[in-house]
Structure 1
Amino acid sequence: MQRTTQVSLIGAPTDIGAGHRGASMGPEALRVAGIGQALTQRGIRVVDRGNLGGPMNPWTGPVDGYRHLAEVVAWNRSVMEAVAAELGQGHLPVLLGGDHCLAIGSITAVARHCQATKKRLLVLWLDAHADYNTSSVTPSGNIHGMPVACLCGLGPPELTELGGTAPAISPDCVRQIGIRSVDTGEKKLVRDAGLDIYDMRYIDEIGMKRVMEEALSDIDENTHVHVSFDVDFLDPEIAPGVGTTIPGGPNYREAQLCMEMIADRGGLGSLDIMELNPAFDEHNKTAVLAVDLVESLFGKSTLMRD
């Protein structure tokens, strides 16, 4: 990221694709935790664009395998247009979610921008889940478990073709880090796609430093790095404020090292912060931790490296 780049905060207050209510409060929790002020203090120009609007969550069951598909499409279209507008002005968009289905809109916009500017896209998907489900392998129909599959062309055409063509990206654009919960049917889809996954077993075996060196190894000056940060990436012991807690995630230092190494490598062009759910949090501590990690992603280092 260039120091002259404007960071634009875009709130998307909806839990339209989730299985629990509450992620709609995520953007405000991040603002209360001081995300704008934290980045401003790092010498970054920050503009808060406020919140996008969209349909209310009807909280109904799945229809033809998907819950709230029309509403999910509407929200993702708004996100896609807002992110595209910021990228078109040379700004760095930070999407404040909201549930992770919204990454379909944000990453579709980023992929189209990269195509137009002849940049290579690298998506770093920090998450406990692979999010590569389809309606045929998940009975819940919750679309927040499907965004990577939709982006890679597996899913309803309303989402796979959100940007006009499908797929929006190819699986080789994606590096998934911190994965520790993959549904049985989803495992076959992930293997068939050849998705590059650095799961928690691998992190335990070789350590976060080597994992990040591998994941970031081919970034060059023509790479646009998009980080899609699901807060459930973190171990719930330190980050309880999510709807889908999965034990055994990265601890505080592992998460900090992950973010610091992304910052050191350079190329950050866009960011999602997803699935923060204040309804499950303790005194907003997960939002405060998320802001702390985002500061590291934008260059705050430990000790004397700052």
Structure 2
Amino acid sequence: MIAAERAMRERVDIVGVPMDLGASRRGVDMGPSAVRYARLHEKLRAIGVARIEDRGNLHVPIRESLAVSDTHAKYLDTIDAVCSELAEIVERILAEKSFPIVLGGDHSIAMGTLAGLTRARGAAPGIVWIDAHSDINSPTSSPTGNVHGMPLWFALEKGYADRARTVQIGLRDVDAVEKRNLRESGVRAFTMTDVDRLGISRIMEEAIAIAGAAGEIHISFDMDGIDPSEAPGTGTTVKGGLSFREAHLIMEMLAASGQVGSLEMVEINPILDHRNQTAALAVGLICSALGQSIL
């Protein structure tokens, strides 16, 4: 563990978004609590974060109280409302010169995080998006209508993501329409085949050069990017994912770049987890992104 004086950030602000409306499997709304229970605050203090402000969880209506008005993008109006609130909070955190850590919840919350970052900075951030899936379906192309498969598409459409500064890593479950959408988007995507062939270090050098070309980098980390043997507690597991060390090296190299300005950890589902293993891994990855290293 690094010494306290080597911490990358003196202050962080944590906000939980117990969103499960974008996913079909239940339980991901408990993700923020699982990450806190995995000693997030204690681990952040141990690496030298001097001030930790936990803003608690946003209110997310339960789906039993809602009607599905559009089967092509289920609960989108409610998701948008929660994301608007999240965007305002992220914008305030940055105005206070703090580092936002957003805890999901499903990946639909990325729309709110990215909106807040864009408004605060006046331009879309560079993004390193770790995921088994490309999340670039549109409401008309999605086979399920689940919005957690659409956040990158929405972010690109609304100008909250810059296609020239967005990199995806770990892809291995991309449907035919998503492949077309991804090719047309111009987003740089590294599949697990690329990881096997090139190695994660070389990929990260390119990813940092792309995402960090004009400023700070946002990390959007879906835990299903990691192999389910290491991260079983997520709703859409796909075999053949990133290893424990590959995931940490991604975060370590991003930290070493000095350009990380924000991060979100999503799709942690404690109902599907083994003894909170996935949440504990998420905490370790957050610490790596903030500068914790082996020596």
Pick from 129, 135, 139 the counterpart of residue 131 of structure 1.
Answer: 135
- Name 1:171's counterpart in structure 2: 163
Deviates more, 1:24-33 or 1:180-189: 180-189
Distance 1:4 1:210 in 2: 26
Residue in structure 1 matching 2:86, options 79, 83, 103: 79
Please name the residue that 2:44 is paired with. Answer: 39
SS at match of 1:108: helix
Paired residues, number? 288
Deviations 1:209-240 (A, max 9, x none): 10101111256696111000111111001100
Equivalent in the alignment of 2:35: 30
Letter in structure 2 aligned against 1:224 = E
Mark the runs of 5 or more structure 1 residues left unpaired by the alignment: 154-165
Alignment correspondent of 1:291: 283
Deviations 1:274-305 (A, max 9, x none): 00000100110111111111111111112x3x
CA shift digits 1:76-129 (9 cap, x unpaired): 1111111111011111110010100000000111112221xxx77211101111
What runs of 5+ residues in structure 2 fail to find an aligned partner? 1-5
Question: 2:55 is matched with which residue?
Answer: 49
Partner of 2:146: 142
CA distance 1:278–1:140, change in 2 (3 Å): same
Contact 2:93 2:100 in 1 (8 A): yes
Q: Normalising by the residue count of structure 1, what TM-score does the alignment of the two structures yield?
A: 0.89
Q: CA deviation at 1:62?
A: 6.5
Equivalent residue in structure 2 for 1:151, among 151, 155, 160:
155
Provide closer, same or farther for how the CA distance between residues 46 and 221 of structure 1 changes in structure 2, counting only shifts above 3 A: farther
The residue correspondences of 1:151-230 to structure 2 (distance < 5 A) are 151-153=155-157, 166-218=158-210, 223-230=215-222
Q: What is the CA–CA distance in structure 2 between the aligned matches of 1:198 and 1:221, rounded to whole Å?
A: 18
Identity of aligned residues (%): 38
Q: CA 1:15/1:92 → structure 2, altered by over 3 Å: closer, same or farther?
A: same
Shift of 1:260: 0.7
Tell me the amino acid that sits aligned with residue 138 of structure 2: T
Secondary structure of 1:152 counterpart? helix
Say if 2:17 and 2:103, in contact at 8 Å, map to a contact too: yes
- Shift in CA distance, 120/186, structure 1 to aligned 2, threshold 3 Å: closer
1:74 & 1:7 partners in 2: Cα distance?
Answer: 24
The change in CA–CA distance for 1:198 and 1:62 in structure 2 (over 3 A counts) is: farther
- Deviation digits for residues 247-284 of structure 1, max 9, x if unmatched? 11111111111111111111111111100000100110
Contact 2:164 2:210 in 1 (8 A): no
Matches of 2:9 and 2:288 in 1, distance apart?
Answer: 18
Q: Does 1:244 align with 2:212?
A: no
Instruction: Choose the corresponding residue for 1:17, options 4, 19, 22.
Output: 22
User: Which secondary structure state, in structure 1, belongs to the residue aligned with residue 129 of structure 2?
Assistant: strand
Do structure 1's residue 107 and structure 2's residue 114 form an aligned pair?
yes
Q: Which amino acid in structure 1 is aligned with residue 42 of structure 2?
A: Q
Q: List per-residue Cα deviations over 1:179-202 (Å, max 9, x = no partner).
A: 111111111111111110011101
Q: Measure, in 2, the Cα distance between the counterparts of 1:220 and 1:196.
A: 13
TM-score normalised by the chain length of structure 2: 0.93
The one-letter code of the counterpart of 1:280 is: L
